[in-house]
Amino acid sequence: MKLYGISNCNTVKKARDWLTAHQIAYEFHDFKKQGISEQQLQSWLTQLPESKLINRAGLTWRGLDEHTKQSIVDNASAITLMMAKTSVIKRPILEKDSKIIALGFSETEYSALLK
C-alpha cells in the first residue's frame, strides 16, 4: 500500500497516524519533496476526474490567478498544473495495487476499507 501526500499536511498526518496505530504497513510518498510523475497523474486520472484530484478549496488553488484556474480544461492542463504545483493535489491519496482506494482521510472510510 502506498500513501501519497505532503508530510506537513494535517490531513496526511492524521492518515499516517491512523495507519500506524492500526499497524497497517504502507510506503509514504511525499510529492512535495519527491515530486510526482506524469505517468502517475495519468493513472490517477483514469480512476478519478481532475475535478476530484485538484483541491479547489485549498490555499494553493486560491492563490492561483484567474487565467491559470480557467486554463484547467482537460487532463493535459490538469497534469501540467499538478506537476508544477504539487500542493494543489488533493491529499492524501491511498493506493493499493496501483488503484486509488481512498482520496482524503476519513477514519470511518479507512476503517471500512482496511479492517
Mean per-residue pLDDT over the chain, rounded: 96
Catalytic residue among 3, 4, 5, 9: 9
In this prediction the pTM is: 0.93
**What 8-state DSSP symbol labels residue 64?**
S
CATH number (domain holding residue 86):
3.40.30.10
State pLDDT tens for residues 31-82: 999 999 999 999 999 999 999 999 999 999 999 999 999 999 999 999 999 9
C-alpha cell at 58: 485549498
Structural domain count of the chain: 1
∠ Cα 5 8 10 (to 5°): 85
Q: What percent of the chain has pLDDT over 70?
A: 100
Active site residue 97: no
* Structural domain range at position 108: 2-114
What's the pLDDT score for residue 112? 95
Q: Where are the alpha helices (DSSP H) in the chain?
A: 10-21, 38-47, 50-53, 59-62, 66-70, 75-84, 107-114
